Every structure is written in C-alpha cells, then in structure tokens.
Chains A and B, each alone.
Chain A
Amino acid sequence: MILAVSLVVGCGDGEKKTTDPYQKSTPEKQPTKVENKVAASERVDLTNKGVGPITSVTLAPEIDQKMVAHGKDVYEKMCTACHKVDKKYIGPSPTGILNRRTPEWVMNMILNPEVMIQEDPLARELLMEFNGAPMANQNLTEEEARAILEYFRTL
C-alpha cells in the first residue's frame, strides 16, 4: 500500500527522486594537513606506535644475533627491491630507523602498510615524500617482522 501511495504522490509534477542509495551519508574524511619543515623521513617521533597488530615491543639490552641473521635473510629476500641499507631508494633506508621511530611503528609499517598510510599521518606523509610509491605488504609473519626489527638494530 505504501508503495502505491508513494507512486500516486510521486506522479506528474516532474519532481525527480534524488536519493542515491549508494551515496555515502557523510563525506570522506579529508587528509589532515601537516605543516612541517622537516621531511617526514628525517623527523624523529619516538612516541607514535602506529596502527596495527603491534602494541608493545620490548627490546632486550643485548642484540640477539640469531634473530639478526634471520631478519637479514628475510629483509634481503622480501624488502631489497625497494629498500637499500646504504641509501634512499624507492623507499627510505632502514639505517638508524630506531633513532627516529618506535619499534612498534616499524613493525606495524611492515605488517599493516595499507592501514598505516590511511590512518597514520606520518606514514601518509612518507608516502607523499616517496612519490606515492606504496609500501608493499609482503605478508610477513610477526615473527619475521620482529627479526627484521632486530636486524635494523644493527644498522
């Protein structure tokens, strides 16, 4: 009955229904504008843990050399297409990264890059700084990402 009535009402006056069922009710969130003179890759932020599965990492005082060897192996296989130890390449060099980022941020960037560039302002800025080249998700395990982090401690 409702349908019939609405058809009666809707007739003849040239009025067009404008509601688009696919139209989103709220506009897309606009990216936050960040005014900062220091390039994102140079900036130091040792509090931001990023967005992703890693909320807390404890680094032992001693570097675990076995883990380093494993991490280096994974890094060389899965990361070197875009990241070089000695220079800025497609993406930034990991050398000294732990002087600028928290361990959690680094691991979340490895494990959760799609969400990081959406939700972490710093990751988003890095994307722009590196010409829009996205960090590829190489589907590493947490254990592999942790090993890479240990390797980064040696760089």
Chain B
Amino acid sequence: MKNILKTTVALVTILVAFTSCNNSGKSNGQSGALASNVAEKVYVAPGEYDSHYAFMSGGYSGNITVYGLPSGRMFKEIPVFSQFPTNGYGYSEETKPMLETSYGFVPWDDSHHPDISQTNGELDGRWIFINGNNTPRIARISLTTFETEEIIEVPNSAGNHSSSFITENTEYVVAGTRFSVPVPQKDMPIKDYKGNFKGALSFISVDPEHGHMDIKFQILMPGFNYDLSHPGRGKSHGWFFFTTYNTEEANSLLEVNASQNDKDFIAAINWKKIEEYVNNGGGTMMPANYAHNLYDEATHMATSTMKKEVRVVNPAEVPGAIYLLPTPKSPHGCDVDPTGEYIVGNGKLSANLTVHSFTKMLDAIEKKKFDGDAYGIPILKFEDVLAGSVEQPGLGPLHTEFDGEGNAYTTFFISSEVVKWKLGTWEVLDRKPTYYSVGHLTIPGGNSRKPFGKYMFAMNKITKDRYLPVGPEMEHSAQLYDISGDKMELLLDFPTHGEPHYAAAIPAEIIMKNSRKIYRLAENEHPRKALSDADTKVVREGKNVHIYMTTIRSHFSPDNIEGVKVGDKVFFHVTNLEQDFDVPHGFAVIGANTAELLVMPGQTRTLTWEPKQVGVWPFYCTDFCSALHQEMQGYVRVSPADSNLELSWSLGD
C-alpha cells in the first residue's frame, strides 16, 4: 500500500511538473500534491476547533499568547506583566495593583517560561504559571477565565530566568535567579563579586485549592548564574535540577570570562529534604520587601500587599540535600525525561549532549564519591553520573522535550535544527531544519510524565525572509512538525507575537470545557458595582466624583452627567449588566490619560478621568455591541472649579 502510494505521489509530482502552467512566479518543490497533503494536516475548517491549545510566552511583550494547533491561529493575548491598552489591564483601577512591585508600579516585563499545573506528573489544565524575568515575578493565570489572577515578586533575585517550573503535584512553582547579587543588597564594589554574591533559588508553594502562592523558602546558592531548571518526576520526584553557567563567577565580559571552565554544573536539589528542614523550623527569616498581588474574581479587583520577610536556607545548614553534577560547557536547558531517570544538560558550547542518570547520581551520593566541593556543596564525578552522550548531534544545543515513546527532541541554535534521538541508546534518529536559529521547542505535555506527542513546534529567534517583508522589526516565526511517524514532518510556518521563549501545549478537551463564558451579576461583590438602574448614581467625595454606571445594549445609565468641575477626579465605575456570552461593552472618554475599559458581562471596571477643561465632553462604547452601538454614548458637563452646580444625572429624561 505504501509503495503504491509513493508511486502515485511520484507520478503525480512528475505530471504536475510537466503540466505546470508556468504561472506561479516561485516554484520550490513545495507545491503540488505533496504540499496539499501537508495542508490537510493543518487545515481546520471554518467553525471547527483545533485539537490543542498552545500557550506561548510573549518574551518582551510580557504576556502570553494563546494559539490553536495545528492551525497556528492566535486566539487571544493574555496580559500578564505588561499594561494592555486593548482591554485596560494595568490601566483600570481594578487591575493596576497587579503590576505593583517593591520598585513601584512596573508596567512591563520579559516573560519566558510558561508551565501548566500538574497532578501526578500529568498536565491538569487548572492554571498556567509564567516568570517575569526583568523585575523578578511569578504569575498564575487561571485556565477557566484565561486571566492573570496572581503575581508574586521574588526578592533576592535578579533576572528571574530558571523559572517558572512546577513540581509534579504543583506543590511548588520554582524560580531561580540568573544573576547572582549581594544578598541582602548593599553598596559594594562590583569586582568583589566572587565569593560574595549569592544565587537565590525560590520554592513558591501553591495552595492546592485556590492556587495562591507563597514563598516557602529560598536557597542561597553560590554566586553562579542559574540558567534553567526542571523538576524531577516519577522516581526523581522530590528533586529539582538547575543548570548553571559562570561558575567562574566573572563579573565582566562574560562571553569570554564565563566560558573558561571545561565544565559547569547541574545543581541537584533534594527539595523534599529542605522542605522537611523548613517545616521543622529550619532556615532564617530575613527582612525583605516584595509585592504579592492577588485578583479576586468576586470583587473583580486586585489588591497588592507588601511582604516584609522571607525564609532563607544556607546549603551548609542541610547537609546531603544539594549536589553538583559537572556538565560541559555552559549548559542552558535542563530537561528531565518522563520517567525521571535522565537529566539532559544542553551544553551550549559543547560538541556533545550530556545526559546524567538519576540512579547513578543516587549511587554516587550513597558511596560518597565526591570530587571536592564548591562552597561546601559536594561535587560528584562526571563519569559517575553520566548516563551517556549524544555524540556531535549538532551545534549549540539549547532545549530538549520528550514524546513519551522513548525519544527526545533537542533544538540546536547554531545549526538551526531539531534533532530526534533515542533515550538509552543515544543514537540520532532524525533531524529537520528550522527557520531560523531555534530557541525552545514544545511538545504537548513534553515536560511531564505523560507527553501527548503528535505535534512539536519550534520557536525561532530569527525570522528574516520567512514572510512578506515588514521593515527591520518583525515578529518571530514558529514551525509546527508532525512527530507521529518515525521522521519529523514540517507542517506549518506561522508568525508569533513578541518573542516566544518557551511554550506549553495541551489537548483542547482538558481545558475547553472549563472555560468561563460570563461572570454572574449575582456573584459580583465589587464595592462600587451597580447591578440595576436603581443602583446607578453619582456621588461626590471631596474632589473625587464616583459615577456608578451600567451598560446594556445599547445605552449607558446614566448617560447625562452634570456637576463635575475642573480639578475633580472622576471615577467611572462601569458594570456590564449583560449576562450573555461574548457581549462586552467598552468605555472611553475624551482626553482620558489612560486606556479604555473593556468590561465583560457581569464585570465591573473603573476608569479614572481628570477633566482639565470646561465643556461638555462625550464618552462612548468602544466595542461594537449591537446594531445600535453607535447610539451608545453620553455626555459629562464640566463646569469651572468654583461652580456651584449640584451633581445630577439622568438617562432618557
């Protein structure tokens, strides 16, 4: 059958070549019957659903974008660490507290590594976590509302990169620092870095019911750079593995000075042991200052609380909990296979891919086969922990994912390719180019105990000529591959938003059934809500004027407001009375020094407006809500600061 198919395909290809009308300017061998076969694999007919969700980090957009696989269509951008004028996130009074930090209001971040919550090592689809790299933060996003619900700042950290990876029952979301820094921060010469700076690895507990995050402890490690991490799973559950570079502890010209050592380390941390130590009162509470921002779905409001201390643990306090596994050279990705046996260190500058064995590691620890120590942390011998090497698979290995069939897939940045290889035999099975310079790759569930396989996508750092030119700045490109066969097959090339680093993907059926359609008005506990016409009012509190306003197709209530004065601060508290799926209303008022509001059914949002000029000023609905959308408008009369006009409001009178 296969041969017949091949022959047919070949014949058709030849015929197509002969009968080509010469009317396509560009013929590259991708057209014709073969291409249409591939097209069928990514074609999702109008109105049909994709089979998988993919959640891509936004990189310097600070957000997460949601895609469908295999179509590569983008469904949503979820604002996380960055203000988002599209819906008013980070602009409205309710959401501004989400972006509070110990540095004040920080409206942007660099989001890198999303990870979906797990139960028994399998994706459960309750939440997705992601790290803010620049001003260290971890966010939790609900996968029922697809909104950011919580952000916790990580103190003593800088360049929050080896984050946010979760343990197999979502006990912890883990955040490791890239930069080592003085802990606590102090004024000191930079050149005194070596031996004085610390690298904090933070274990943030996750409440199993609500998902609420709390820093349980921070391990103050030697002053290396902690690059990436992954939890142990299955047999290695209870351990966490971090790649390190700059074990030289250089503080300048790292591209040379941090590439001196033949081997850096993977730090293996027995977090269960440290957890036990901490539960018995171990560690030290240290003064700190970090924000904990929590969004309440009932009040539709976020609150920001500054926390004042954090528990720190010095590795020397818990002997036998931390070991260093020598790994060539400046390893980047740190990936653990579905069984938990193999720990892959992707040495950026190494010719070979290094795979450590968890069993051999335990054995070496048992037999105390140490090769010295670093700041008191035992170093194991490379040969004692090595499971095997993939010999010269490509140039510049970065990250590895798994298909659950005993295969691993590693990206190679310099040689722009994904290489498939076999766990245990270390033989290379296949390689496919990427376009161009791939960073991370993702297989649905590919960093869990139960990968779903089927698809793999590569997220590339360089786009160049893949799409129609749009000037010097362009979006990044991703490529989708079918990995269900022996060989990977390139299916689709699609642009992404921002700079996706890592992504998480999951079969649609796990989360689509839980997706919220509306917020119930009956459950709205916003302190300034208006649940019906009878609740609408305008209240003056000194210079602050609070307008309790409602929307329903297609009017604001009230829509005529008088008695506002220059110098007032006007708060429009807009409650959307709709209770039907996909009927948001927007709100914008002329000259507001902020973004619009987009208010979901049953929700309350607040826009602040400080009118500076006397006049009669319009506001309107920004979301095309009905045939009478253009009629959905109103006026605010602004009188001089010394006016005696009383507040009044009306609709239809």
Contacts and interface: CB of A to CB of B under 8 A. Distances in A.
Interface of A: 1, 3-4, 7-8, 11-12, 22, 76-78, 80-82, 89-90, 131-134, 136-140
B19 A8 contact: yes
B21 interface: yes
Contacts of B534: 76, 80
Given A7-B19, A90-B555, A81 B518 contact: no
Given A11-B21, A133-B626, A136-B578, A77 B521 contact: yes
Contact of A77 (B8, B532, B557): B532
A83 to B, nearest CB: 10
Contacts of B285: none
A90 B578 CA distance: 15
Given A4-B12, A11-B21, A81-B552, A137 B580 contact: yes
Nearest to B23: A11
A4 B580 contact: no
B536 to A, nearest CB: 9
Nearest to A12: B21
B448 interface: no
Given A7-B15, A90-B555, A139 B579 contact: yes
B429 interface: no
Interface in B260-301: none
14 contacts: A3-B12, A4-B15, A4-B16, A7-B16, A81-B552, A131-B628, A132-B626, A133-B553, A134-B553, A134-B626, A136-B552, A136-B553, A138-B578, A138-B580
B68 to A, nearest CB: 19
Given A1-B8, A4-B11, A138-B579, A132 B627 contact: yes
A92 to B, nearest CB: 15
A133 to B, nearest CB: 6
A139 B580 CA distance: 6
Interface residues of B, number: 31
Contacts of B553: 133-134, 136
Interface string B574-588: 000111100100000
Given A76-B532, A80-B534, A81-B552, A137 B11 contact: no
B30 to A, nearest CB: 16
A10 B521 CA distance: 60
B29 to A, nearest CB: 16
B580 A136 contact: yes
Given A90-B555, A136-B580, A81 B532 contact: yes
A8 B521 contact: no
A78 B534 CA distance: 11
A78 B16 contact: no
A51 B532 CA distance: 28
Contacts of A78: 521, 532, 577, 579
Contacts of A12: 21
Given A81-B577, A133-B553, A139-B580, 13 more contacts: A3-B16, A3-B33, A4-B11, A7-B16, A11-B19, A11-B21, A76-B534, A78-B532, A81-B552, A132-B628, A133-B627, A134-B627, A140-B579
B633 interface: no
Interface in B1-47: 8, 11-12, 15-16, 19, 21, 33, 46
A137 B21 CA distance: 55
B531 interface: yes
A16 to B, nearest CB: 12
A137 B19 CA distance: 57
A132 B628 CA distance: 7
A40 to B, nearest CB: 17
A8 B557 CA distance: 66
Contacts of A140: 579
A137 B579 contact: yes
B140 to A, nearest CB: 28
Enumerate the 3 nearest inter-chain pairs by beta-carbon distance, A residue then B residue, closest first: A4-B15, A137-B580, A132-B627
Contacts of A137: 579-580
Given A80-B533, A81-B532, A81-B533, A133 B8 contact: no
B554 interface: yes
Given A132-B628, A136-B583, A81 B19 contact: no
B652 interface: yes
Contacts of A139: 518, 579-580
